[in-house]
């Protein structure tokens, strides 16, 4: 399983999901990006992927460095300096360990064939072929700035799966103009660059050290101080009152000022639909295709299908047994864990249903997965854990796992959201 390495600029969603993975003890994970043919792993220094989806577009004028790794038994720095000699092609230039995107067009970071570079290590070193990380330089006049919900990059992580639903909604991690939030509700927004002429979901990456988010002075309270720098953060977190419209926000990158869409405060009454989206992890093994759910997101929309952020929502487990924990101040994203009951002795099909409510507007979603025996020490179950929510239904079977999934799916509605209006008690 491939995970992206964390940095100080990593979106909160990514940090939370990776933390959940670590807590669950899922093995075989690392925190690197990969070359085109997956022969080389590497880490970018200050070239974050803010939207997920493994984007390879980079703004012209961006500088970055690469810390490569290889699947070998030799890991010391002397080996890296001697054998791992990087190169650049196309629109990339490379000098003194720094890559620069010089113009629009195609380019690549070039990785060597290790045994050709260092034949003296034959027998000690795994054979790692030459490979490339191809990219596209995008000029400033082809790029546009937008806001995305702080939690939406989760859907673009390479290890994430929609589970039985088969796909995620089309409007996640999609910049919206204008961006609307519920008045007095806590929201988190992150500025990104995209290339609208190519694909609005294709991020144009840039170095955080070469960027600054500028807001009118009376809205700077929405920006925390960056703990890694003596400057304001490059994201928004907080609330704005009714009738507020934040105009004149800009994202300054590489000497270019990109205008950001307005952020508008709207009434919660404008929300007319609610969709719940479970998030699993890929686990394409003999026993199962995805793990137990690790998170769930609530997506609110108006009568025209446009998303609204920062809304208050109440969560509950109405069937099954799950640990449910908040992801911070933002209420539309919760972390889930199948840790409130013992792991089975053999693969076991499990199900759960979660419900969320915004006032009288209610949505629920059914979830299904295969629970596997736990390697090593057994999981300690805390019967007093307030985060463990359950109903009387254990919702598990011990039939053949693949057959169990088929049976569960045969019930219908699994992975599908049921929407309804809660009836008032007087009716």
Let me know: does 323 contact 337? Beta carbons within 8 Å: yes
pLDDT score for 96? 93
User: Whose CA is closest to 151, among 47, 5, 262, 297?
Assistant: 297
Going from the C-alpha of 276 to that of each of 51, 118, 334, 339, the distances in angstroms are 20, 53, 11, 21
pLDDT score for 414? 29
pLDDT confidence of 418, banded at 50, 70, 90? very low
- How many of the other CB atoms lie within 10 Å of CB of 31? 14
Task: Give the β-pairing of 87-90 and 41-45.
Answer: unpaired
- Asked if residue 61 has pLDDT above 50, the reply is yes
Q: Read out DSSP for 336-376?
A: EES-SSPPPSS-EEEEEEEEEEETTEEEEEEEEEEE-PPSS
DSSP for residue 71: S
Please count the CA atoms within 13 angstroms of the CA of 407 that sit on its side-chain side: 15
- Asked if residue 296 has pLDDT above 50, the reply is yes
- Residue 218 three-state SS: helix
pLDDT score for 327? 81
DSSP for residue 270: G
The pLDDT of 94-103, averaged and rounded, is: 96
pTM equals: 0.80
- Asked if residue 73 has pLDDT above 70, the reply is no
- Residue 215 three-state SS: coil
pLDDT score for 12? 53
The secondary structure element, H or E, covering residue 19 is: helix 12-24
- Asked if residue 186 has pLDDT above 60, the reply is yes
Residue 243's region, left for phi above 0, alpha for psi from -120 to 50, else beta, is left
Task: Give the β-pairing of 263-266 and 179-182.
Answer: parallel
pLDDT confidence of 229, banded at 50, 70, 90? low
Let me know: does 262 contact 175? Beta carbons within 8 Å: no
- How many of the other CB atoms lie within 10 Å of CB of 235? 21
pLDDT confidence of 400, banded at 50, 70, 90? very low
Token digits of residue 11:
């979106």
Let me know: does 204 contact 194? Beta carbons within 8 Å: yes
Token digits of residue 215:
């807001």
Residue 110 has φ and ψ, to the nearest 5°, of -105, 130
- CA dist., res. 414 & res. 407, Å (int): 11
pLDDT digits (tens, 9 = 90+) for 347-373: 999 999 999 999 999 999 999 999 999
Alpha-carbon Rg for the chain in angstroms: 23
Sequence-ordered list of residues with C-beta below 8 angstroms from that of 257, at least 6 positions apart, any chain: 250, 251
pLDDT score for 328? 82
pLDDT confidence of 302, banded at 50, 70, 90? very high
- Asked if residue 125 has pLDDT above 50, the reply is yes
Going from the C-alpha of 48 to that of each of 14, 105, 152, 221, 236, the distances in angstroms are 11, 20, 15, 24, 17
Q: Read out DSSP for 150-163?
A: TTGGGGG-TTEE-G
């Amino acid at each position: 399983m491939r995970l992206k390495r964390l940095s100080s600029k990593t979106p909160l969603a990514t940090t939370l999901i990776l933390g959940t993975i670590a807590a669950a003890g899922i093995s075989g994970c690392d925190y690197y990006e990969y070359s085109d043919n997956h022969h080389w792993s590497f880490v970018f220094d200050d070239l974050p992927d803010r939207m997920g989806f493994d984007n390879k577009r980079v703004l012209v004028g961006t500088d970055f460095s690469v810390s490569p790794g290889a699947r070998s038994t030799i890991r010391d720095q002397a080996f890296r300096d001697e054998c791992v000699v990087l190169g650049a092609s196309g629109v990339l230039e490379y000098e003194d360990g720094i890559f620069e995107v010089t113009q629009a067009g195609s380019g690549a970071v070039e990785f060597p064939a290790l045994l050709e570079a260092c034949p003296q290590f034959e027998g000690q070193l795994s054979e790692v072929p030459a490979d490339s990380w191809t990219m596209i330089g995008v000029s400033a006049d082809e790029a546009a700035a937008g806001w995305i919900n702080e939690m939406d990059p989760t859907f673009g992580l390479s290890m994430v799966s929609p589970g039985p639903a088969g796909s995620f909604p089309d409007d996640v991690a999609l910049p919206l103009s204008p961006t609307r939030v519920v008045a007095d509700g806590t929201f988190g927004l992150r500025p990104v660059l995209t290339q609208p002429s190519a694909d609005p979901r294709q991020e144009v990456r840039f170095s955080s050290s070469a960027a600054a988010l500028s807001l009118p002075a009376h809205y700077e309270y929405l920006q925390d101080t960056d703990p890694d720098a003596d400057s304001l953060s490059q994201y928004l977190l907080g609330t704005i009152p009714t009738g507020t419209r934040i105009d004149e926000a800009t994202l300054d990158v590489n000497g270019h000022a990109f205008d950001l869409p307005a952020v508008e405060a709207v009434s919660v009454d404008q929300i007319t639909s609610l969709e719940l989206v479970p998030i699993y992890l890929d686990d394409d093994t003999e026993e199962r295709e995805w793990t137990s759910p690790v998170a769930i997101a609530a997506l609110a929309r108006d009568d025209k299908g446009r998303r609204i952020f920062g809304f208050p929502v109440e969560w509950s487990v109405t069937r099954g047994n799950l640990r449910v924990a908040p992801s911070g101040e933002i209420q539309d994203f919760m972390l889930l864990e199948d840790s409130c009951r013992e792991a089975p002795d053999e693969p076991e099909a499990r199900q759960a249903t979660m419900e969320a409510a915004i006032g009288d507007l209610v949505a629920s979603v059914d979830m299904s997965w295969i629970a596997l025996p736990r390697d090593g020490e057994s999981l300690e179950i805390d019967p007093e854990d307030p985060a463990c929510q359950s109903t009387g239904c254990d919702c598990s079977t011990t039939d053949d796992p693949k057959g169990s999934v088929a049976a569960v799916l045969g019930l219908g509605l699994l992975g599908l959201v049921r929407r309804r209006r809660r009836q008032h008690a007087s009716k």
